[in-house]
Amino acid sequence: MKLSIARETLLTPLSQVTGVIEKRQTLPILSNVLLHLGDGHLEMTGTDLEVQLLSRVPVDSGVEGSITVPARKLLDIFRLLPERSEVTLEHVDDRLSVRSGRSRFNLTTLPVENYPAFDSGSTDLEVTLPCESLRSALDKTLFAMAQQDVRSYLNGLLIDLEGQTLRTVASDGHRLSVYQETLATAFSENRQIIVPRKGIQELSRLLGDADDSLTIQISPNTIRVNLGQVTFSAKLIEGRYPDYQRVMPKELARSYLADKEEIKSALSRVSLLTSEKLKSISLEVDPTGLLVLKAQNSEHEEAEERLTIEAQGGPVSVGFNAGYLLDAINHIDSDQVRLSFTEAANSCLVEDTADSRFRYVVMPMRL
């Protein structure tokens, strides 16, 4: 394999592919990126066996072939080479020669045949979506995913395709984030899949630069997303996601409307004096419509904030994790935020007053 390419042409896609490769690997070849030159394109592939990313870059000419080389070393070389430099890559024996100007590097390679194949299986369902729809859906929900829960399905994000409705759902057992959007055309069939946390984070990063539309291909065990010159694949989490619709509060008895920036700032200040582990605060609304936020830590230090809000349905007194409330408010785009409670105040529904697609439920804490 031999080719010449501009530094800037390869730097971004190589960085994207390297992002899915774990720094510490049990198999040395998983630290490598697979380079394949053929049909006028250089294909770069990285995987950790759970997530795979393939990026294609057009190449005018070169000697076709395939090799695997240490991904981070190759990326660091391209990062530190001068801007607008021309780089020549050449596979000689068991080394990859990297040349640019007066710079010379030789990297070790490993056999291509030892590189693990990512079996995506046969496609059951193919869906085309606007990139903006999936980008918004992930941005509004992924923050609520669990990190290392024994319930594996919570360590991922549910993508629910039903009729013309796209839903994304995330929960860590203490809170629930749901985003729902109605699309122009209906899906050929309904389907629910759970994509693991790392896969969702990588996909969200890729969507940040994407435009137009994307194609999702779903097989029994994997999801593949085609974004032009980039193809993302991930293994799905087995299991059935809980019925999130049952968690959404019904028959709301109290509703409070607050200025988003005011309550966000007040929560941030009060949380300074919460315990680091629990971040617990008390939220009280008195009969006059005054919202009072209080916090106390183990040193008996105290904080209190008072806000004037629009209240309907009478007073309430409940405890919350301040961080969970702030997460929801940070993902609201309107100038006001609505907090609603059932009669028993056993959960709080947080809503964007200007966008009904995003809803967030947080469970109370015992103080």
199-231 pLDDT, tens digit each: 999 999 999 877 789 999 999 999 999 999 999
Last residue of a domain, one of 209, 244, 279: 244
Q: Quick one: 227 and 305 in the same domain?
A: no
pLDDT bucket at 365, cuts 50 / 70 / 90: confident
> What is the spatial distance between Cα 47 and Cα 29, in angstroms, rounded to a whole number?
10
Residue 269 lies in a domain: yes
Does some domain include residue 120?
A: no
Whether 101 is covered by a domain: the verdict is yes
- Statement: residue 366 has pLDDT above 90: no
326 — pLDDT class (breaks 50, 70, 90): very high
Examine the domain organization and report whether 90 and 156 are in the same domain: no
Measured CA to CA, the distance from residue 128 to residue 214 in angstroms comes to: 6
- CATH number of domain containing 59: 3.10.150.10
Instruction: Categorize the per-residue pLDDT at 276 as very low, low, confident or very high, splitting at 50, 70 and 90.
Output: confident
Whether residue 282 sits in one domain with residue 178: no
Per-residue pLDDT reduced to its tens digit, 141-154:
999 999 999 999 99
Last residue of a domain, one of 191, 217, 244: 244
Q: How far apart (Å, rounded) are the C-alpha atoms in residues 259 and 336?
A: 5
Closest CA to 303 of 337, 336, 268, 254: 268
Can you say how many angstroms the Cα of residue 324 is from the centroid of all Cα atoms in its chain?
A: 17
Flag the least confident range among 80-94, 119-133, 175-189: 119-133
| Residue 88 resides in a domain | yes
The residues, any chain, with a CB within 8 Å of residue 276's CB and separated by 6 or more, are none
Give yes or no: residues 27 and 92 share one domain.
yes
| Any domain includes 313 | yes
Tell me whether residue 119 is in a domain: no
Instruction: Please indicate, yes or no, whether residues 173 and 188 belong to a single structural domain of this protein.
Output: yes
Count of structural domains within the chain: 3
For residue 268, is it within any domain? yes
Please indicate, yes or no, whether residues 211 and 270 belong to a single structural domain of this protein: no
Residue 367 lies in a domain: no
Residue 161 has pLDDT above 90, yes or no: yes
Residues 203 and 141 in one domain: yes
Q: Which pLDDT value is given to residue 312?
A: 94
Q: Of 62, 79, 114, which residue constitutes the final position of a domain?
A: 114
Do 238 and 252 share a domain, yes or no? no
Which residues form the domain of 331? Answer: 248-362
Q: Do residues 152 and 223 share a domain?
A: yes
Note whether 252 and 234 are same-domain residues.
no
Q: Do 108 and 134 have their domain in common?
A: no
Q: Over range 149-172, report the average pLDDT.
A: 96
Tell me: pLDDT of 367 over 70.
no
226 beta partners: 215, 231
Whether 142 and 234 map to the same domain: the answer is yes
